[in-house]
Each structure stands twice: as C-alpha cells, then as structure tokens.
Amino acid sequence: MKRTLLHDLTLVTGNETFRGDIIICGDRIEKIIRTNENGLATPAGTEMPLDEVEKVFLEQHPDAEVIRLTGLLAFAGGIDAHVHFREPGMTAKADIGSESKAALLGGVTSFIDMPNVNPPTTTAERLYAKLALASGRSWANFGFHIGATADNAEEIAKIPSEDFGGIKIFMGSSTGNMLLDDDGALSSFFRTTRKEILVHSEDERTIRRNMEAAIEKYGEDIPFRLHAEIRSRQACIKSTVKALELAMSLGTRLHVLHLSTAEEAEMIRAAKRINPKITAETSANYLWFSSEDYDRLGSRIKCNPSVKGAGDRAALRAALKSGVIDTIGSDHAPHLATEKARPYLQAPSGLPSIRQTLSVLLSVAEEEDIPLTRIAEAFSENTARIFGIRERGVLKEGCFADIVTVDPHKEYVVKNDDCGYRCGWTPYEDMKLKGTVEHVFINGEMKVKDGKLTDDIPSGRRLRFEA
C-alpha cells in the first residue's frame, strides 16, 4: 500500500497546535509524529533530528513519497454541511461536479448539499437519485440533507439514518420555496425526529409585511440596502425564538443555520445551557460583509438571511471565538450574473463563496486574535461530530487522510476567473485575503498541489452518518 510522509509542518486540531509529521498509508492517516520543543521528532518515543525522520522513513519504505512542507499549516479537510450545488434542476448555475471541484480547491474535502433543488429532495427516491448523480462525479466526499414538508415525516422516518445528514426546515422562504410554517407539522418534526434538525430561521409573516411596505414606498425600484430591513433582524429573532423554545422543551437536536444577528448569538448561548444538543452555524459571508457594503456590492451580497450591520458582524466574530458558533457553512449558492443584475425584486438571493471560506476564516482569525484551534473546530471537527460523519474531520491516526495544507502568511487578491464556479463570479472579487490553500489530500490522494489540481479525475466518496 502506498505511503506518503508529510514532513515538518504545523498541525492544527481543535485541541492544540504542534509541529510534526503525518504518515499516510492508503486512504488513512497511519501515524502522526510530534516534534518536541527541542526540535527533535519522537517516532515510537525515540528522539531523533528532523532530517533523520525522513531518512528512517525511506529506509523502511523505499517506494514511499516524502513531501517537505516546512512553514505550512495542516488542518483536517473542511466539512461544509451547507451548500447549494443546484443539481438537479438548476445546472445552468452550477452542478455537483463544478462546485465540488471549487470546494476541493478551497480545502473543503466533504460537503452536505441542501434539498431545495428541482425537484426538491423530500422523498427517499429523490435522495437516492441525488446520491447516484454524485457518484463518480464529485471531487469531494458527498452527502445530502432531506427537506421537511407538511406531510413527509413518516417517509423520512423510514430512511436509514446513515443515508442522509439531517432534516432541513425552511421557517422562512428562500430559493426553492420549501417554506414550512405550519406550527403543527413543525412541532411534530421537533418532537419525533431522531436526526439533526436544521432550520433556516426567518419569520415569513414579518418579511411579507416589510416587503409590502418597501413596495408601497419605492415601487419596483427598491434599493438593495433595504434588504437588511426587509429580511429584518426582527424576522430572524422571532423565528429563532420559536425554534429554540421547541428544542429546549422537547430536547431536540437543533442546528440553527447562518446566524446573522448579535441577538441570536446571545440566545444560542443561553439556550445551550438548557439543551446542549443545540448548535449553531454562521457563514464566512456574515463574518466578512456588513450592511455598509450594500451600496457598493448591491445584489452580489443579497442572501437570505440578509447581511446585517457592522455590530452584528463583530458579535458573530466574537461568538465564533468563544465557541457559541459551532460550525461554518459556506451557504454556497450560485446564481448567474445575468440573474443577479436584475432589479431588487427579481434578483435572486445567494452568494457563491465556498472556495473563499478558509481564507476568510484565517483572515478574520488574524484580525480578531481567534485561536487557530477554533478554526479547526468550526471548519471540520464540530461538523463531523454534529452529523456523525465517521472517521473524518479530524487529524487523528486511523482516520481518513482528508488533509489541507495552508500557507498562513501568503496573501492573494480574489479574481472571478480563478474561482472555478460555473456562474463565473464571487462577491469577494478584488478583495485581499490571507492564507492560501497549497495541498489537498482526500482519501489519501493528493488532488491539489501548489493550489492546482493534480489530475482531472473526481475521487469523492459517499459519506455515512451515524444517528
């Protein structure tokens, strides 16, 4: 079986950061070798100089490969549990092949796709059809969430737990129009499900009232800066209160998606004390942009929930640092540039961003003095734990060798042409980010070297989920 030595890098886990080496054997991490404070490696408890590690390794495994990575960071490959790859039904915008390739180039080695496609993933038949679509075409390891409707709880209950990630509930409408705002059906899911419930948390009635008021005032010519008032903080807070109250009273496994307000972060902090099975996600977009950017970027940062104020952005960064926010999901949601060029009422919501996620996190971490251990937790480890993804998301002996190396000091300017998204654009264009993805290993194979793909063969595998 092929072996590879990743030599002299800095490993970052949720618990610690340390210098060392990683030995990959086949598709697994066979051994992690630490380098002590004196600069000596300690394989099998025996101290030796770093250059001796390489020599001994090649003596033992003469056909192996050594990759010297001095100065680079190693994280477990990212697990993004919130993507919209638009297949089936919207493949002019994106598909599993195009977007998983961009994900891999950004250090994301596993993803879980959302159900609001066409037709929506709300039945067992459609779930298995999507799994078949991804097989042999996905560059990253793949899984899918299933969507809740007013009448599909019994069907979802019959699907084996290992076959899907969680149950997505849209408490506010968004792309795909899978709104579920019936209190009875909502309570039933919270009461009976054995899986993680994921909520898009916005109050639909509040949004409709705000929209009517905006149309009355501006007609068809609504400024994009009004998006944060139409999809308002009150809409988010009201809906999140309902979801948290249900989860706290019923003990539900609840994952609140794409937090966008300071108030919700504090509500999550308090709710976790009552029900520790409550977790929360935000996206890099809410950590980077603010409502001050609408006049400059317009529809390019129109997403649901809306990007809020600079104070909310600061509060979300603090919540990431403190651990209130558990995971980062890109909410990668491509639309064609021609669609986004339409006036407010016709321009769809959603941002393509998955390739920028890790760089945004590293840039924010430097600005806010967030420990890299927190980035490791939010980028992969917590997501694997919450969704029961087996043997992935952590740098640990015996786990799958899904690994990303990063140059933490290298800066780059984002360009649309370099992103690899089928839609051809990103709101991060011309922005300077810090931290470049250098290598990506997936299932033990090096698929990215020096930031470029090593071949044109997708090798993602199907994810399995523990209940």
Instruction: Report helix angle 124-134 to 96-105, nearest 10.
Output: 60
The token pair at 5 is: 């030595």
Structure-token match 């980062």, residue found? 328
Whether the ω angle into residue 88 lies within 30 degrees of 0, i.e. cis, is yes
Distance CA 150, CA 158 (A): 16
Specify whether 51 is catalytic.
Answer: no
**Cα separation of 358 and 288, whole Å?**
12
Neighbours of 414 (CB within 10 A): 18
* Integer Cα distance of 358 and 369 in angstroms: 16
3-state secondary structure of 41: strand
Locate 430 and state its tokens.
């011309």
- Give the CA distances from residue 259 to residues 44, 334, 341, 371, 384, in Å, rounded to whole numbers and listed in that order: 45, 20, 26, 21, 19
Active-site residue, from 8, 312, 326, 331: 331
* Burial of residue 60 (number of CB atoms within 10 Å: 0-12, 13-18, 19+): exposed
Q: Residue 81 is encoded by which pair of tokens?
A: 């549990």
- Please give the structure tokens belonging to residue 11: 């490993």
Neighbours of 7 (CB within 10 A): 21
Exposure letters 104-131 (e unless 16+ CB within 10 A, then b): bbbbbbbbbbbbbbeebbbbbebbeebb
Which residues are tagged catalytic?
A: 331
